[in-house]
């Protein structure tokens, strides 16, 4: 009897279970409930405090903050372009990470990592508002609010011997507040030389992570730990004032590189130069310059009737790229009438130098840099020079060893300027004349700016028929000591013609350089003296070697 009861119970359970599921499906799922109500839509000012707190994170920034602007057109653009952006960005990511995976595979022969799938999904990010920040610098700064609740499919396959482990990233949610800076602005498309990106707050990141088909983010405590670890890692690299620096243009296509140090060159002497004059002698002098610079070459004095001249003359040149720049040396025979004859030339790559160490070079002069030119086999004498490269203090870490072993920092993490109090030594004074506003002359408005400092005069180009000229021209002064008690005179002038060319002052300003030396940099607008409403925008930097 017990056996029969057990058998009937099993049969009843087998029949009752599917029958019960069917009834439940029909009653609770398939049948549409009759008590569904339409959602209540209320204005924000009618909501209570709890309701407002629930929807506050979803309110766009252009509603909560008047500084942010609504840009639905850009979101529409992203929506239309997203299928193509998805493929392009995924291709870039794949090309970047696959060499890294290949490097690990090379180190550990029994381990391989492969990208099985890589897609950012069908949902584009949304910009909830954007703020443009006005600055007096030669740059464009804006701060968007980015949110992305995407459905990406990124799958990694880790193979260890014959075991394959699948890791899948999905359901990503990101909220970030970046600051994007385009600087400096240049007259070459796309009109800026680099992009600097930094985060103004720690980003909010949420995602799902499946390991062997199971969501490991559901493990209690692990989700919060991984999320906070990711936020801290991102913040350590990109939270302001740290930046991600993305170069767009280089010096060959119009970008302006920042000087990184000063090259001290001493032209010592020359030996056994060619005889170019009828009396069997020469009148030599040396011209020297750095490659990639448009500045006039510097010259030594002329040594009359001397094939073994001794100069011992010192020169200073500003260096912008010690990895690629070379010192160009040309020796000429001075002529009172006509062109000067070329005695020979030679170049010295700056990467051969060790910072702060003086190195002497005995250079065999050649006709040109073509090694296959038969004229270079002719003996043209020797030129002896001494060279020292002194990087600025904020670049000492970058150039701490021989320059031929220097490699740029690929992380792109920015550094803050370092001032340790050693400000009274030699350095570089850079003056950027940005623009002027509301300048007006009695006769004409063809403004240009003139800088007078330590008896040296430099001027910008002339911009015709305007009261608001924009120059964006930089001038540099290599100094033996800090200009603590000196002033710089900057004047805006205009040319006009009445019988002959005349000059008219549109206003001037005298800038005390004391604050520049101690602060490292000043950027300001100065009211022009002897001008009705004119102002001039100037940036001045002092960098110590």
The CATH number for 326's domain is 2.60.40.150
Tell whether 354 and 467 lie within a shared domain: no
Question: Is 86 part of any domain?
Answer: yes
Tell whether 353 and 490 lie within a shared domain: no
Give the Cα separation of 504 and 462 in Å (integer).
Answer: 13
Question: Is 35 part of any domain?
Answer: no
Place of tokens 């057990």: 6
Q: Are 183 and 196 in contact (CB under 8 A)?
A: yes
User: Shortest CA distance to 535 belongs to which of 467, 473, 475?
Assistant: 467
Question: Is 20 part of any domain?
Answer: no
Question: Is 303 part of any domain?
Answer: yes
Tell whether 229 and 269 lie within a shared domain: no
Tell whether 374 and 509 lie within a shared domain: no
Residues 48-60: what's their mean pLDDT?
68
Element housing 14 (H / E): helix 2-24
**How many domains would you assign to the chain?**
3
| Parent domain of 291 | 261-391
Question: Is 521 part of any domain?
Answer: yes
Tell whether 343 and 232 lie within a shared domain: no
pLDDT digits 0-9 by tens, 154-179: 888 877 777 788 888 878 888 888 88
Give the Cα separation of 208 and 527 in Å (integer).
Answer: 58
Residue at which a domain ends, from 391, 418, 444: 391
- The confidence score (pLDDT) of residue 314 equals 93
pLDDT digits 0-9 by tens, 391-402: 887 655 555 555
Tell whether 306 and 383 lie within a shared domain: yes
Q: Are 217 and 208 in contact (CB under 8 A)?
A: yes
Tell whether 145 and 223 lie within a shared domain: yes
Q: For the ranges 204-213, 413-422, 525-534, which has the lowest average pLDDT?
A: 413-422
Q: Are 78 and 85 in contact (CB under 8 A)?
A: yes
Confidence of residue 408 (pLDDT cuts 50, 70, 90): very low
Question: Is 13 part of any domain?
Answer: no
Confidence of residue 351 (pLDDT cuts 50, 70, 90): very high
Question: Is 397 part of any domain?
Answer: no
Tell whether 276 and 170 lie within a shared domain: no
């Amino acid at each position: 009897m017990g056996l029969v009861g057990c058998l009937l119970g099993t049969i009843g359970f087998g029949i009752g279970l599917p029958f019960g599921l069917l009834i439940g499906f029909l009653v609770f799922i398939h049948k549409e409930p009759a008590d569904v109500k339409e959602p209540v839509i209320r204005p924000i000012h009618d909501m209570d405090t709890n309701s407002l707190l629930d929807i506050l994170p979803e309110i766009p920034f252009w509603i909560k903050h008047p500084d942010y602007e609504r840009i639905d057109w850009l979101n529409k653009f992203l929506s239309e372009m997203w299928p193509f952006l998805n493929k392009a960005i995924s291709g870039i990511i794949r090309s970047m990470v696959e060499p890294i995976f290949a490097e690990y595979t090379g180190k550990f022969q029994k381990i391989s990592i492969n990208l099985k799938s890589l897609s950012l999904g069908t949902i584009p990010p949304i910009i909830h508002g954007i703020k443009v920040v006005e600055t007096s610098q030669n740059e464009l700064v804006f701060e968007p609010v980015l949110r992305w609740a995407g459905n990406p499919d990124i799958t990694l396959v880790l193979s260890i011997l014959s075991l394959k482990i699948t890791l899948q990233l999905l359901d990503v949610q990101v909220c970030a507040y970046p600051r994007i800076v385009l600087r400096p602005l240049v007259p070459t498309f796309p009109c800026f030389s680099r992009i600097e990106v930094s985060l103004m707050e720690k980003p909010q990141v949420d995602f799902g992570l499946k390991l062997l088909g199971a969501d490991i983010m559901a493990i209690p405590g692990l989700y919060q730990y991984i999320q906070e670890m990711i936020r801290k890692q991102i913040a350590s690299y990109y939270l302001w004032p740290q930046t991600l620096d993305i170069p767009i243009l280089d010096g060959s296509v119009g970008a302006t590189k920042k000087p990184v140090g000063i090259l001290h060159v001493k032209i010592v002497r020359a030996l056994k130069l060619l005889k170019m004059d009828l009396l069997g002698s020469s009148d030599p002098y040396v011209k020297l310059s750095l490659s990639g610079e448009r500045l006039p070459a510097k010259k030594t004095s002329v040594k009359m009737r001397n094939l073994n001249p001794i100069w011992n003359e010192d020169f200073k040149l500003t260096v912008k790229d010690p990895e690629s720049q070379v010192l160009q040396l040309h020796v000429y025979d001075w002529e009172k009438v006509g062109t000067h004859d070329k005695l020979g030339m030679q170049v010295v790559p700056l990467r051969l130098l060790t910072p702060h160490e003086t190195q002497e070079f005995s250079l065999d002069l050649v006709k040109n840099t073509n090694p296959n030119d038969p004229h270079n086999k002719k003996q043209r004498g020797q030129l002896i020079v001494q060279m020292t490269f002194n990087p600025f203090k904020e670049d000492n870490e970058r150039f701490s060893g021989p320059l031929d072993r220097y490699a740029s920092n690929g992380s792109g993490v920015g550094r803050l300027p370092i001032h340790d109090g050693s400000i009274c030594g030699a350095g570089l004074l850079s003056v950027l004349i940005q623009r002027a506003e509301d300048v007006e002359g009695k006769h004409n408005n063809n403004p240009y700016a003139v800088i007078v400092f330590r008896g040296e005069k430099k001027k910008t180009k002339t911009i015709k028929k305007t009261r608001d000229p924009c120059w964006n021209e930089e001038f540099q002064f290599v100094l033996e000591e800090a200009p603590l008690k000196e002033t710089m005179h900057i004047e805006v002038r205009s040319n006009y013609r009445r019988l002959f060319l005349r000059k008219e002052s549109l206003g001037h300003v005298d800038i005390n350089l004391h604050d520049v030396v101690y602060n490292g940099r000043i950027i300001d607008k100065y009211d022009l003296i002897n001008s009705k409403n004119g102002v001039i925008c100037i940036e001045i930097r002092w960098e110590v070697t």
